[in-house]
Amino acid sequence: MQSASDPKLRARLARLELRARTVVEGLRGGRHRSPARGSSSTFAQHREYVPGDDIRHLDWRLMARGDRNIIREFEEETDLQLHLVMDTSASMKFGEEPSKLEYAGWLAASLARIACDQRDVFSLSLTQGEELLRSLPARGGEGHWQSLLHALASVEAQGEGDPGRGLAAAAMALDRRGIVVWLTDGLGDPEEAANAVGLLRHRGHDVIILRVLDSAEIDFPYQRNTRFLGLEGEEALRLDPNAVRQAYLEAFEHHAQEFRRRLRALGCAVRRMPSNEPLEVGLVEFLARRSAALQRRGS
């Protein structure tokens, strides 16, 4: 994590905020009124603690007066929680102007901005390799969004491992049902990804997978003899790109299809997000999902 006084970090933050606000404003101009009711969080009632409840919600004062563990139950501030899970493994470093990590950050900031504007709460989980690196709890408000921006700007892509396992680690920390948006390049094992998504679906989450890829990964445009250095410690490969292009593309697409097939089978949306495409595509997907989720809840 970088310090907040780091000029580089500040510049990255400013860019992230500007990009998110611009995207969201542009998106809003072409849409209907937000379906969110927008209500403040209100205390509703007490109930006895049961295992699995968040201990942060224990009412210490009542507990001091009696011998029961009483937990405070709040009414939902919004209808929906947005959980942003972002893969920050070393492979996300790939790509230029922007890198996959930057592009995923923009997406996350934009989605959080929409949620913030619609009074939804949003959380952020940053995974590196197979581990959960950092998480911001599900909250709303401008301050929380700024915290999210800071977290996004300060993270560096590093670590090795299957991103599906990282998602699984993050999933374990998500307590409330909501829309989980997984920002990843999805270059890991489709089965691991399916396992993690299956876990989320089992817990009632609606899952959107925004697969951030660089166009070089999709098109493999290299011509000259190239020595490819793996970002996650893989053995370097020297080869003639022309000679292996077709085989690479076949392997890449085969993996993508398998990834998509497995995850769609679990009822989640998978959207490929080339880093050279507009962010709105991913955001529209999110909004459509959100609308559907609210409709289900309303019914």
Residues that bind other proteins (CB under 8 A): 91-94, 100, 185, 187, 214, 216-217, 222, 224-232, 234-235, 237-240, 242-252, 255
Q: Which is nearer to other proteins, 63 or 244 (CB)?
A: 244
User: Smallest gap, in angstroms, from Cβ of residue 108 to other proteins?
Assistant: 19
Q: What are the tokens at 191? A: 């089965």
Please name the residues in contact with 78: beta carbons below 8 A apart, sequence gap of 6 or more: 36, 37, 38, 39, 118, 119, 120, 121, 140
Q: Which is nearer to other proteins, 100 or 113 (CB)?
A: 100
Please name the residues in contact with 20: beta carbons below 8 A apart, sequence gap of 6 or more: 106, 109, 110, 112, 113, 149
Could you tell me the end-to-end alpha-carbon distance of the chain, in angstroms, rounded to an integer?
44
User: Smallest gap, in angstroms, from Cβ of residue 91 to other proteins?
Assistant: 4
CA distance 216 to 248: 12
User: Smallest gap, in angstroms, from Cβ of residue 18 to other proteins?
Assistant: 27
Q: Which is nearer to other proteins, 111 or 187 (CB)?
A: 187
Q: Which is nearer to other proteins, 172 or 229 (CB)?
A: 229
User: Smallest gap, in angstroms, from Cβ of residue 128 to other proteins?
Assistant: 15
Looking up tokens 């529209």, which residue turns up?
A: 284
Q: How many residues does the chain have?
A: 299
CA distance 89 to 20: 22
User: Smallest gap, in angstroms, from Cβ of residue 226 to other proteins?
Assistant: 5
Please name the residues in contact with 84: beta carbons below 8 A apart, sequence gap of 6 or more: 108, 111, 112, 122, 123, 124, 125, 148, 181, 183
Q: Which is nearer to other proteins, 61 or 238 (CB)?
A: 238
Q: Which is nearer to other proteins, 216 or 293 (CB)?
A: 216
Q: Tell me the longest C-alpha to C-alpha distance in the chain.
A: 76
User: Smallest gap, in angstroms, from Cβ of residue 171 to other proteins?
Assistant: 23
